[in-house]
Each structure stands twice: as C-alpha cells, then as structure tokens.
Amino acid sequence: MAHAVVVGGGIGGLSAAIGLRKAGWRVTVLERAAAFEEIGAGISLWPNALRALDELGVGARLAPLRVSHGTGGMLDRRGRVLTRVDGEQFARLLGRLLLPVHRARLLDILRAALPAGALRSGVDVTEVTADGVVRWEGGELRADLVVGADGIHSGLRSRLWPAHPAPVYCGSTAFRAVIDWPRPRDLAGTMAPGVEFGLMALAEEKAYWYISLVSPPGVRHADPKAFLRERFASFHRQLRDVIERTPAERILHHDLYWLATPLPSYVHGRVVLLGDAAHAMPPFLGQGGCQAIEDAVVLAALAARSAEVPDLLARYDAQRRPRSQTIATRSARAGKAGPQLTNPLAVAARDTALRLLPSSLTARAAAAIADWTPPVVSVPAG
Ligand SMILES: Cc1cc2nc3c(=O)[nH]c(=O)nc-3n(C[C@H](O)[C@H](O)[C@H](O)COP(=O)(O)OP(=O)(O)OC[C@H]3O[C@@H](n4cnc5c(N)ncnc54)[C@H](O)[C@@H]3O)c2cc1C
C-alpha cells in the first residue's frame, strides 16, 4: 500500500490525511505541537469547503454545529445599515449557508475521523527531501508522497524553494475571541475606516468575533481589551458590548501575513504543498482554510485514481494553483477595497456604493467563489 506522510496536523493536513486514507493510502500525520490542541477562535466554512468535507465523509459530524441565521449585512461605525444580506437568498444561490465553527471543534471532528495510530504529535520535522525522506530529531520516515501542510511559515517551503520570497505583512492586524453569547439571529458586520468587525453565532450559545485593524506590524498592547475598549469607544453598542463581554485572556492578537508572491509550483519531486504552506492569503474573504480543504479533496481524488506520484502531483498542481492563487489575490484586493480603506473620501464612496448595492449582487459575488464542487474520492475496491 502506498504511504503518505503529512507534515502538519492543522485543517489542511488532517483533511488531506482523511482523504488519502479514503483513497486507499496508508497515512502518517506528523505534528510538531506536543499535543493536538488548538489555540484559535472561529472560522467560517463556505459551501465550497462544506461540500469538500461531505466528500471526505465528515459533513454529517458538522451538522450539530449549525445554528440558524437570519439576515446579515454590514453596518457603519454608528450602527447604520450599509448592506443587508438575506440568508434565504444566499442559501438559494449557494445551495447552502456558510457555517461558522469553533476551530477547536472542527479540528476535533477531523482528528476523530482518523485512527489514533495515524497521528504523531511532538514531531518537529526538520528535513524533507524531494525523493520522499522526512527527518526529525531522532527519527526518519520514507514515503511515496510527502504532503507539506505546515502552515504559512512552512519550513518545507523555505527548504525546497529557498529563493522564494517569505510571506509579507498585509497591512492589518487581527483581534479575535470566542465568547458566551445568547443566540442572536440577525448578525451584522461593521466597516469603518481601516476597520472590519464581524460577529458570528456558534453552537452552544457562543459567538465568534473578529476585528481587523489597519496598523503597522508588530504593535503589541499590554492590555488588548483596554486598547479595544478605548479604540472603539465611539462605535455602536453591539460592538462595545462584545468587547465588554469578552474575558481579557480570551483575546487573540495576530498580525496578518500572506504569501504575496505566488509560488511557481506546489510540487517538488515527491513533495506537495497544500493549504497556507502553498497559498497563505489575507483573511478578508474567509477562504484560507476552505482552500486548504479543497486542496485536500483534490489531492485525495487524484491519489485514488493513480499511485503514480509524479503524474498525480502534476495534475494536482494544474488544478489547484490557478484557483487558490486567484482567490489569494482576490482576498488581498477585497481588503484594500474594503476594510483597509482609510482615506475619508474613498470610504464615503465605498459606503455609498454598499448602500446602493442590491443584496442579490452581494450574494452573487460570494457565490462566484463558493460555487465549487469537489471531485469524487473513489474508494478502492476491496
Ligand atoms: C484572523 C484570521 C481569520 C481567518 N478566518 C478564516 C475563515 O473564516 N475561513 C477560512 O477558511 N479561513 C480563515 N482563516 C485562514 C485559516 O486559518 C488558514 O488558512 C488555515 O488554518 C490553514 O490551515 P493549514 O492546515 O494550511 O495551516 P495551519 O492551520 O497553520 O496548520 C499547520 C500545522 O503544521 C504544524 N507544523 C508547522 N511546522 C511543522 C513542522 N516542522 N513539523 C510538524 N508540524 C509542523 C503546525 O503546528 C500546525 O498545526 C483565517 C486566518 C486568520 C489569521
């Protein structure tokens, strides 16, 4: 049986492992964290990723995490409506609604779909060769296929593509948290100069919120909650409430980086990159994790048809690079034209355009990205 080693046990690596097992491969996931645990907040899964997760066989396990959503949209700083998004219309166009989930729950579900023996934590991979040897301190594995799913600061990428430029700061920093929140039906985001705020209902009467803020990189706040309270003192009540209700220790603060120079290939010999390692993007379209899941299901579908690694990886590269790199570029553009605008005239023009835009157009723009159907991962006979 062909053997794949997956480096990295995040959303992309675990999805790839599930798919490759379904395709009839033996899989070992190597994760450097001592335990498979998640720090993180929420993540929204778009219909493209939800369909891919169905194909991987884990869709049904996500169903209990769904809460009903009504109308959404965008407010301005004072809480006046910029756009409305009708949930029903959105679902009609996209076939289904997007699903915000706690990352920890998503990772639990993905790990539960793998046998315990396939997961090895506390393994920090230090070397990978093009012919499929994976090394770490005190260990080595030889694989037919190595999947580099080691995230935005991928060591595999920098070792195998040493001349490729490193990820760059996208101009915004992000604050995020999951909080207790009585289930709100109508949730709206907020856009203001240099700011985006989003609030999404999660299962179990929780909500996930995020704020992106234009800022120089590396700025840290001794007390992030006090900073946010002061920075958003003049904003509408829901945003201030959310900050007040958030225990200070739950607030995560990260600068947002992305791989601004697209890789010329995701493949090097028997090694293939997937997820943020291949195409880290700014989060303005909420597609980074969704693209990692798409990568995983495409790789698995190809691996189910052929164990000829050079051939299957050439097909993977041809199918995945154009789409994922286009979405990465669109995410960066969406930031520049939306939450990263700071010039008052440009902000006023954007807000006017948003107010005039029919909600059907907003839904159609989202559908253009989320309208993706995964290939079938055929299960080998016997
Ligand atoms: C603020 C913010 C909001 C976002 N919101 C969304 C959203 O709503 N929807 C969405 O789809 N995406 C979103 N994203 C993007 C999403 O988080 C990423 O695209 C996704 O997590 C990428 O998954 P991955 O598996 O490729 O990488 P990661 O999740 O980074 O996983 C990489 C794993 O590899 C391990 N690793 C690293 N090096 C080694 C090594 N040497 N040896 C062994 N293991 C190693 C790491 O420990 C880690 O577990 C957001 C990102 C940010 C920053």
Per-residue pLDDT tens digits for 139-149: 999 999 999 99
Task: Quickly state the pLDDT bin for 184 (edges 50, 70, 90).
Answer: low
Determine the residue of 32, 45, 103, 125 to mutate for testing ligand 1's pocket, defined as the one with the most ligand atoms within 8 A of the Cβ atom. 32
2 class by beta-carbon count within 10 Å (0-12 exposed, 13-18 middle, 19+ buried): middle
**pLDDT at residue 96 above 60?**
yes
**pLDDT at residue 102 above 90?**
yes
Cβ of 8 below 6 Å from ligand 1: yes
pLDDT tens readout for residues 278-319: 999 999 999 999 999 999 999 999 999 988 999 999 999 999
Between residues 242 and 92, the one the model is more confident about: 242
pLDDT tens readout for residues 313-344: 999 999 999 999 999 999 999 999 999 999 99
Contact call for residues 294 and 52 (beta carbons, < 8 A): yes
Strands 71-75 and 189-192: parallel
Amino acid 66: pLDDT: 84
Cβ of 7 below 6 Å from ligand 1: yes
Task: Quickly state the pLDDT bin for 97 (edges 50, 70, 90).
Answer: confident
Cβ of 294 below 6 Å from ligand 1: no
CA–centroid distance, residue 104 to ligand 1 (Å): 12
Task: Quickly state the pLDDT bin for 38 (edges 50, 70, 90).
Answer: low
**Rounded-to-integer distance, Cα 177 and Cα 179, Å:** 6
What tokens does 136 get? 């770490």
Averaged confidence pLDDT in the chain = 93
Task: Quickly state the pLDDT bin for 382 (edges 50, 70, 90).
Answer: low
CA–centroid distance, residue 43 to ligand 1 (Å): 11
CA–centroid distance, residue 225 to ligand 1 (Å): 25
For the whole prediction, is pTM greater than 0.75?
yes
Q: Closest residue (by CA) to atom 51 of ligand 1? A: 283
Q: Which atom of ligand 1 is nearest to the CA of 256?
A: 53
Which domains are delineated in the chain? 3-68+99-166+260-338 (3.50.50.60)
CA–centroid distance, residue 9 to ligand 1 (Å): 9
Q: What are phi and psi of 168, to 5 degrees?
A: -120, 160
Amino acid 93: pLDDT: 79
Rounded alpha-carbon distances, angstroms, from residue 185 to 71, 95, 99, 361: 8, 20, 14, 22
